[in-house]
Each structure stands twice: as structure tokens, then as C-alpha cells.
Amino acid sequence: MRMFLASIFLLILPIIRAQVPHWGPCPEPEVQPAFTLRQFMGRWFEIAKLPAQFEKGRCIETNFTLMTDNSIRVVSSEILKGEVKKIRGTGVIEDPKNPAKLGISYSYVLPYTPYWILSTDYVNFALVYSCTDVLRLFHVDFAWILGRTRSLPDTTLEKARQTFANNNIDVTRMIPSRQQGCDKTL
């Protein structure tokens, strides 16, 4: 059985090579209480992240626009090899009783993936977490610290990392996002 599990892991490893895999199912972190989707809308800059295969550029930002009371348009952009790359998607509140648990999809054929707002003050920072279980044997984490500006104070970043840790989310591999020289290019 162990050999079988190791074989599965080795087959899937190339797919998740930049992500952060962990044994066992996804944690169930606390999310923002009394989350208000309307206040969350607007432009957010990526300040720090767990490595993600789909984010390779710099100056990463996402703009959220309210479409209905429980759905949003999502436009993410980055500068990669000197060019602005954009991807458009949709987001939904998957459970009206827990509106901080969003689902986002960048494709009509793929299901929504979790996009959970763990904490935000709506005007300065937001902490976002996403996790995907793989056969409940292991999971792949994604975590972001977002800001309304391209940088945040170190005290805010430390508090953010502590919030992730308090929710059993390992952010030891979290890296700063490159947000220098962005306004000249965008």
C-alpha cells in the first residue's frame, strides 16, 4: 500500500512542483466573520504568496467587480517577460451562510476552486487561502497576502503570517511578490 501511495505521489508531483503539498486533507481555517462581499470589491495587489505554478510574473494584481449579490468578475494580471498578461474569471459565494468562502473559476469547464477570505479590514489588507485535496491523501495549499497598495508594513505581514499559522496553514515557504516598477509598465 505504501508503494502504491508513493507511486501516486510521484506521478502527481510534476503537476504540483511549484505548489506546497502536505500529507492529509485540507485544514478548515476560520474565515472572516460577517464578511461583506461589496466592501471587498476593487483592486488588490499581491504582497506575498505560497509559490504557485500559475503565477510566474511580477506586479500581480486582481480586480474584483460585483456582478450580482453573490457573484463577481475576477480579472488577474501580471507582467511576464515584459508583457501584461491577464486572465478573466468568475467568483461566487458558495454558501450564503458563510460568504467569506468564495469559489473562483477561470474556465467554463473547470469547477470553482476555494478562495477563502481568512481576514480583511477591506481598506488595507486581505488574507486569502485555497486548498485542494488529492484523494484525501495529501493536499495542495495556496495562500496570499493582498494589499490595497503595492506594499504593506512589516508588522502587518508578520501578523498575517501568524494568522495563517494559527489556522494550521504552513507559510514557511511564503515568498514576497515582486511589485517594483509596475506603474511604469501597466
CATH at residue 86: 2.40.128.20
Is 21 part of a structural domain of the chain?
A: no
What is the rounded average pLDDT of the residues 66-87?
93
Q: Does 125 or 54 have the greater pLDDT score?
A: 125
Average pLDDT of every residue of the chain: 87
pLDDT at 184: 54
Is 85 part of a structural domain of the chain?
A: yes
What is the rounded average pLDDT of the residues 92-116?
93
Number of domains in the chain: 1
pLDDT at 14 over 50: no
Reported pTM: 0.86
Is 20 part of a structural domain of the chain?
A: no
Identify which of 115, 153, 151, 147 has the alpha carbon closest to the alpha carbon of residue 35.
115
Structural domain harbouring 46: 31-176
Is 94 part of a structural domain of the chain?
A: yes
Is 7 part of a structural domain of the chain?
A: no
Count of other CB atoms within 10 angstroms of residue 94: 15
